[in-house]
């Protein structure tokens, strides 16, 4: 009859009289259906816009906790709208809840793979977290998604900041210190251990200009940038300004 609350009530009464797996399964199914029904009945685009506008006002007034609450309400009212997740990520970033903000960016991208704001914000979040390798990955992900090239400047800015941060972190290191740091990074070790990358690095030692050709392959280019920014190979590791020139081929 569609009266789920009553169905749940009587299943519960039944279980107090005699607890059986069959009735328990029916209760769980009714409860699950009730939750989904309530979720769907809560969806309301108009109220979602109201919550978004409220969140924007609170964000501008630096009430970031209030903004998170408002954007969460927006998400409940319009769960398929990527703006709710992206806006909440921005508020969470202000609250230094960076991993949670990254999750919201991923949710926004899942809802709309063309929603560029979430890609750019994700790269900026990884930069703030000093997870430079993932920041470069996010920049590459953003570049691939930015088919209309409207966000090239923002992506380049995040990539350049990431390169500078990585470059600064290794300034003044000896070659031994650089290699010790690289050996502590599983991803860099994996890249260096790759036979294809070993061949490319060997070639780079003989002809540094050959790297420019390899950088045209997006997957190889990302690995080369990570190694260069980390200081390997040292003989060919350039300044971030030079790296950026081959960052978006």
pLDDT tens digit at each of 249 positions of the chain: 889 999 999 999 999 999 999 999 999 999 999 888 887 877 899 999 999 999 999 999 999 999 999 999 999 999 999 999 999 999 999 999 999 999 999 999 999 999 999 999 999 999 999 998 899 899 999 999 999 999 999 999 998 898 888 877 777 777 788 778 778 888 888 888 889 888 887 887 788 777 777 777 777 877 877 777 777 654 444 444 444 444 433
Task: Answer left, alpha or beta for residue 149, where phi above 0 means left and psi between -120 and 50 means alpha.
Answer: left
Q: Cis peptide before 4, with omega less than 30 degrees from 0?
A: no
pLDDT at 208: 73
Quote the tokens at residue 189.
Answer: 């070790």
pLDDT at residue 69 in the model: 98
Angle, alpha carbons 215-220-221 (nearest 5°) = 40
**Residue 70 and residue 58 in contact, taking contact as beta carbons nearer than 8 Å:** yes
Q: Closest Cα partner for 74 from 61, 62, 58, 60?
A: 58
Helix (H, G, I), strand (E, B) or coil at 159: helix
CA distance 240 to 174: 19
The answer to whether 74 touches 81, Cβ cutoff 8 Å, is yes
Q: 222, 140 in Cβ contact below 8 A?
A: yes
Q: Mind giving me the DSSP string for 67-132? A: HHHHHHHHHHH-TT-HHHHHHHHHHHHHTT-HHHHHHHHHHHHHH-TT-HHHHHHHHHHHHHTT-H
Whether 70 contacts 40, CB under 8 Å: no
What is the Cα–Cα distance from 6 to 8, expressed in whole angstroms?
5
- Cα 123 from Cα 142, distance rounded (Å): 8
Per-residue confidence (pLDDT) for residue 232, from 0 to 100: 64
- Compute the distance between CA of residue 221 and CA of residue 140 in angstroms, rounded to an integer: 10
Of residues 105, 134, 135, the one with CA closest to residue 121? 105
Residue among 101, 118, 100 at smallest CA distance from 109:
118
Domains of the chain in start order, with CATH, are: 4-42 (no CATH), 45-162 (1.25.40.10), 175-245 (1.10.260.100)
Categorise residue 60: left if φ over 0, alpha if ψ from -120 to 50, beta otherwise: alpha
Distance CA 187, CA 72 (A): 35
Q: Rounded to whole angstroms, how far apart are CA atoms 209 and 200?
A: 11
Our measurement of the distance from residue 122's CA atom to the centroid of its chain's CA atoms, rounded to an integer in Å, reads 4
């Amino acid at each position: 009859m569609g009266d789920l609350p009553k169905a749940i009530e009587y299943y519960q009464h039944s279980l107090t009289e005699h607890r059986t797996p069959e009735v328990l399964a029916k209760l769980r199914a009714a409860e699950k259906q009730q939750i989904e029904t309530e979720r769907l009945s809560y969806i309301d685009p108009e109220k979602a816009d109201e919550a978004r506008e409220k969140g924007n006002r609170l964000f501008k007034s630096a009430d970031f906790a209030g903004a998170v609450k408002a954007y969460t309400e927006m998400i409940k009212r319009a769960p398929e709208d990527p703006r709710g997740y992206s806006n909440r990520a921005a508020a969470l970033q202000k609250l230094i809840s960076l991993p949670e903000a990254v999750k919201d960016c991923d949710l926004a991208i899942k809802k709309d793979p063309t929603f560029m704001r979430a890609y750019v914000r994700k790269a900026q979040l990884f930069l703030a977290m000093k997870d430079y390798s993932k920041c470069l990955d996010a920049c590459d992900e953003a570049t691939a998604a930015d088919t209309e090239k409207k966000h090239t400047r923002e992506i380049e800015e995040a990539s350049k900041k990431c390169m500078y941060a990585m470059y600064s972190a290794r300034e003044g290191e000896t070659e031994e210190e650089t290699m010790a740091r690289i050996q502590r990074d599983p991803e860099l070790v994996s890249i260096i251990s790759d036979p294809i990358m070993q061949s490319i690095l060997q070639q780079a030692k003989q002809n540094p200009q050959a790297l420019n050709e390899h950088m045209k392959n997006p997957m190889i280019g990302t690995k080369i940038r990570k190694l260069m920014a980390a200081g390997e190979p040292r003989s060919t590791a350039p300044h971030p300004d030079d790296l950026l020139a081959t960052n978006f081929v």
